[in-house]
Amino acid sequence: MADTPLAKSRTRPVYRNIGFGELRNYRLPIPGIASIVHRVTGIALFVALLFLLAMLQMSLKSEAGFEVFRTIIWGNILGKIVLSGLLFAVIYHMVAGFRHMIQDANKWLDLPMARSTAFAVFAISVALTALVVWRLC
Amino acid sequence: MATSSKFISEWWLQRVSAVVVAAYVLLVLALLLVNGTPNAAQWQALFGNVGFKLATLLALIATAYHGLVGAMHVWPDYVKSRAVLAVLNAYSWIAAAAIVLWAVYILFGMK
């Protein structure tokens, strides 16, 4: 790039072959974070669904099976954290999916709306997850 | 994708299955929010209802399809090895089939 006054006046960072030390400066914009979290939650849920089916089977097989789920799995802080995480994944994937389908219809595609709706997806998902977990505690 | 028409129908089915699953998830979340934690009798009565059984089966079939299509589109963006992709795709097909068969067993076959 030529050393024009314009180029000198700007202090925009330039990244080429970024190293680990620069990763913290290279932030993904929030619509990008929303997109990758949608993918990660989708894959996680596809894998976790088999474990959820195992728990559903146990909870329906007998009253004792239901109590094992309620007292040992949901009654355990680790189980509660994992299941709350999966609940967040379900809710997040759904809410982000609604946003993606609205974008399929060519709406909310300009940068300010892409940013604010991505933020809203996180806020709504966290709030709804917290509400359900609170109701089940 | 073999043909564009296959892609378009897959694109639509991905969204139709998403709406089916979302309707079921919203139903279950509403039930939990309204009624709070169920006890064993309430939980098993809910899953003893034939209408709810059919809704659950429909939602799980839609989930299996949606997850299979999703996984087969997402993995190639990150995994470049054909052998690893073949393993991941095989896992996705088996998991999708297992979800449907297991759901039928839990809802209609289990004593």
Q: Do B99 and A45 touch (CB under 8 A)?
A: no
Confidence bin at A15 (pLDDT 50/70/90): low
By C-alpha distance, the chain B residue nearest A91 is B25
Of A46, A57, A101, the CB nearest to B15: A101
The CA distance from A111 to the nearest CA of chain B, in Å, is 24
The answer on pLDDT for A32 being more than 90 is: yes
Query: How close does chain B come to A6, measured CA to CA in Å?
Result: 38
Q: What are the chain A neighbours of B74 within 8 Å (beta carbons)?
A: 39, 42-43
Instruction: Specify the DSSP class assigned to residue B2.
Output: -
Say how far residue A41 (Cα) sits from the centre of its chain.
6
Contacts of A63 in chain B (CB under 8 A): 40-41, 44
- Best mutation target among B15, B26, B44 (most A Cβ atoms within 10 Å) is B44
d(CA A103, CA B1): 23
Query: Is this model's pTM higher than 0.90 or not?
Result: no
Residue burial A96-119, b: 16+ Cβ < 10 Å; e: rest? bbebbeeeeeeebeeeeebeebbe
Taking an 8 Å cut-off on Cβ atoms, the answer to whether B29 and A132 are in contact is yes
Residue A5 has what pLDDT? 53
Measured in degrees and rounded to the nearest 5, phi and psi for residue A105 equal: -85, 20
pLDDT at B110: 82
ipTM: 0.93
Please, what is the average pLDDT of chain A?
A: 90
Measured between beta carbons, which residues in chain A are less than 8 angstroms from residue B36? Answer: 135-136
Residue contact B110–A60, C-beta within 8 A: yes
The sign one gets for the Cα dihedral A9, A10, A14, A20 is positive
**pLDDT beyond 70 at A69:** yes
Q: Is the pLDDT of residue B99 over 90?
A: yes
Q: What does the alpha-carbon distance between residue A56 and residue A65 come to, in Å, rounded to a whole number?
A: 9
Q: What's the Cα-to-Cα distance from B101 to each of A3, A52, B73, B106, B108, rounded to whole Å?
A: 67, 14, 23, 9, 10
Q: How many Cα atoms occupy the beta-carbon half-sphere of B15 within 13 Å?
A: 13
Range B78-86 average pLDDT: 96
Q: Which residue from B36, B71, B106 is facing A53, i.e. has the nearest CB?
A: B106
Q: What is the pLDDT of residue A18?
A: 67
Q: Does residue A58 have a pLDDT over 80?
A: yes
Chain A residues within 8 A of B17 when measuring between CB atoms: none
Burial of A81 (0-12, 13-18, 19+ CB in 10 A): exposed
- Residue B85, min C-alpha distance to chain A (Å): 14
> What mean pLDDT is predicted for residues A9-38?
79
Torsion of CA A58, B60, A37, B88, to 10 degrees: 90
